[in-house]
Chain A
Amino acid sequence: MKDQVKKWLESGTVDIFLGMKMVDGHPLPHAFTLGNISDLEELVPGTVRYPLETFAAELAAENPDARIGLAARECTQRALNVLSLWNQAPTDRIETIKLNCCPSPLKEHAACSYLDPPEAGLFKKHFGIDNAADPEAVARFEPRERFSRWMYEFQKCIKCYGCRNICPVCFCEDCSLEHKDLIGTGQLPPEAPIFHLVRAVHMAGRCIDCGLCEEACPADIPLRLLYRKVNAVVDDLFDYRAGEGEQPPPFNIIGERPSLEPKPMENGSACPQR
């Protein structure tokens, strides 16, 4: 990879290459350029992830001529597809180098920070939801118990917005999670379950199942699992899978445009209905 990046930078295929650089034993996101080409020595593929595509989109917007290279996992590629659909990233100016990641029957060796999540503790298994469970297993709990388990998880939330901030496909200017009429402010945890349901609904047809949100969540809430279910429903109803292909979603759950201001809700309503 180092050689290819070097070639790219020297030949001008790309002006900037985004990857992870090892600093004092920690891989950190870094912009490699001709100016700091010696840094390439420290370029690492590794298992650690960061939504470099978010940086790429920002850099591309700031520098209309720049060509950007990117160390890309499969989820990065899916995210780029979504960003491009919503006109958030000019994919014609973004080159990617594929990294070894998600395992498959053909590819046993895989490298991703998500591969070995810590095993859920007994208490969590008993009262909450195991992050490693699949949506079907969760659906098998009886509804009241299901609700109670989700509420256990949601109530741990410390409203850090880590899930939203790390998400490669969260790009709206005005975030509904900050909309005072939707979600009350000034208290912890944020209103449950509405905070998490609003985010879940807004990920429909967008979430590319990278799991970064769940990795970022300091409260270990099984966010990816929730969004996975949301997208399974989308697949069922609309036959649409986010991040695949070049078609925009055939539906719009969150409104006409993603950054549209949501309409204020009526008092007493607990769920995002529109």
Chain B
Amino acid sequence: MTLKRMRFLQEVLDFVGLGGRLHMEWISSAEAQKFAQVVTDFTEKIRRLGPNPLHAFIQPDMILRPRVVAASGLKSTAAEKEDAKGSLPFTGKQ
């Protein structure tokens, strides 16, 4: 059931364009190596996906709550800069 719920979330996220960023794997406490492998693979996958596109939508008029600040810093992020070059059709920024 948990697996299916996970699949559900993965598909919903994918539908709005945030696919590939959620992963679940059963690992027993004895499988240290598998754990290491899964984490490495997933990290690598995330890296390949590039910066979270959400960062491009951190808007100037947002309240900078601690969690937003943590996600973006106060300076523009790489994603924001990339986005300034117009890689996203719409970000709501001039």
Chain A residues near B (Cβ < 8 Å): 126-128, 135, 138-139, 141, 143-152, 155, 184, 186-187, 192-193, 197, 200-201, 204, 226, 229-230, 233-234, 236-238, 251, 253, 267-268, 270-273
Contacts and interface: CB of A to CB of B under 8 A. Distances in A.
A152 B22 contact: no
Contacts, number: 105
A151 B56 CA distance: 10
B75 interface: no
A253 B5 CA distance: 7
A135 B4 CA distance: 20
Given A147-B17, A148-B53, A155-B57, A229 B89 contact: no
A143 B14 contact: yes
List 5 tightest A-B contacts by C-beta distance, closest first: A147-B17, A146-B17, A127-B90, A148-B88, A267-B67
Nearest to A269: B67
B18 interface: yes
- In this complex, the interface size class of chain B, counting residues with CB under 8 Å from chain A, is 35 or more
Please classify the interface of chain A as helix (H, G, I), strand (E, B), loop, or mixed, using the class held by over half of its residues.
helix
B4 A186 contact: no
B47 interface: no
A237 B14 contact: no
B63 interface: yes
Interface of B: 1, 4-5, 7-9, 11-19, 22, 52-54, 56-57, 59, 61-63, 65-67, 70-71, 87-92
A197 B15 CA distance: 11
Which of B14, B56, B71, B92 counts the most A-chain CB atoms under 10 A from its CB? B92
B18 A251 contact: no
Nearest to A139: B15
A47 to B, nearest CB: 30
Nearest to A127: B90
